[in-house]
Amino acid sequence: MEKGYFITGTDTNVGKTWATIALMRYLKNQGKSVAGMKPVASGCLMQDGQLKNEDALLMQENASLQIDYDLINPYAYESPVSPHIAGINNPVKLNQLVAKFERLKNLADIVVVEGAGGWYSPLNERETNSDLAIALSLPVILVVAIRLGCINHARLTYQAIAQSGVNCAGWIAVCTDSELLNRDENILSIKAAVAVPLLGVLPYTEVADFDFLSGQLKL
């Protein structure tokens, strides 16, 4: 079993957080102690005198142990824009994120790290989520939103991951469009086009049932 996974997506708002929490639940059901990490988050709200992100709080809630928020989400930005813009006065430093990850690694068997946006989404003026995944030396799981255009987005993102030289452990299909025609055919087309296993299909649902969603995964 790997020490962790880096979750990336074909775009923003593709279901990465639902996939991340489902994966955390799945790994906990395998008897592993699990922590979640959202290194960089934009669109945070002030809670108890601190900027906090809804997704990161969900990871904190679903961890196997109590973990300080600062360790889960080191860079929390208020403005709901790309981190390289939101963090202009407090730019992301990859070495700090690696240090926080190393601390989490010592607390749990598995750390599931959710990137911000897509594979090449910028974290600061020079570095992207791909640089963070490489720095953390984690296998990558690609989350694909099954919607119009998903085949192209999935193939392009998978190609970029492969060219980065990191290990892609597989991909998760998240059905985000309840009205999409030929959903199964789209999933089969992606499955045939990428050389890594399909780890699960998360059906469309209005409200997340993470116990159900975790049951759709198989690593």
pLDDT of 19 > 90? The answer is yes
pLDDT over 90, % of the chain: 96
Residue 120 tokens, joined: 């090449």
CATH superfamily of 4-214: P-loop containing nucleotide triphosphate hydrolases (3.40.50.300)
Residue 1 is predicted with a pLDDT of 44
Helix, strand, coil percentages for the chain (3-state, nearest 5) = 35, 25, 40
Distance between CA atoms of 76 and 71, rounded to whole angstroms? Answer: 11
Binding residues: 17, 42, 55, 114-117, 174-175, 203-205
Interval 90-94 mean pLDDT: 97
* Whether the Cβ atoms of residue 108 and residue 66 lie closer than 8 Å to each other: no
Q: What is the pLDDT of residue 214?
A: 97
Annotated binding site for ATP: 55, 114-117, 174-175, 203-205
Three-state DSSP at 193 gives: helix
- Binding site for substrate: what residues are annotated? 42
Predicted confidence band of residue 2 (pLDDT cuts 50, 70, 90): low
Mean pLDDT of 178-185: 94
Active site residues: 38
What H or E segment, with its residue span, contains residue 76? strand 75-76
Mean pLDDT of 83-92: 96
Question: For 104-148, how does the pLDDT look when each residue is reduced to its tens digit (9 = 90+)?
Answer: 999 999 999 999 999 999 999 999 999 999 999 999 999 999 999
Q: Residues 6 or more apart from 168 whose CB is under 8 A from it?
A: 139, 140, 141, 142, 158, 161, 162, 196
Q: What value does the mean pLDDT take over residues 165-178?
A: 96
Buried b / exposed e over 13-37, threshold 16 CB at 10 Å, is ebbbbbbbbbbbbbbbeeeeebbbb
Dmax (CA) for the chain in angstroms is 49
Q: Is the pLDDT of residue 79 over 60?
A: yes
What is the overall mean pLDDT for the chain? 96
pLDDT given at position 103: 95
Residue positions counted in the chain: 219
Q: What is the dihedral sign for C-alpha 37, 2, 213, 162?
A: positive
Q: DSSP letters along 89-154, please?
A: TS---HHHHHHHHHHHHTT-SEEEEEEEEETT-BSSSS-BHHHHHHHHT--EEEEEE-STTHHHHH
- Mean pLDDT over 196-214 rounds to 96
Q: Are strands 198-202 and 168-174 parallel, antiparallel or unpaired?
A: parallel
Average pLDDT over residues 166-192: 96
136 alpha-carbon distance from chain centroid: 14
Task: Identify the helix (H) or strand (E) that includes residue 68.
Answer: none
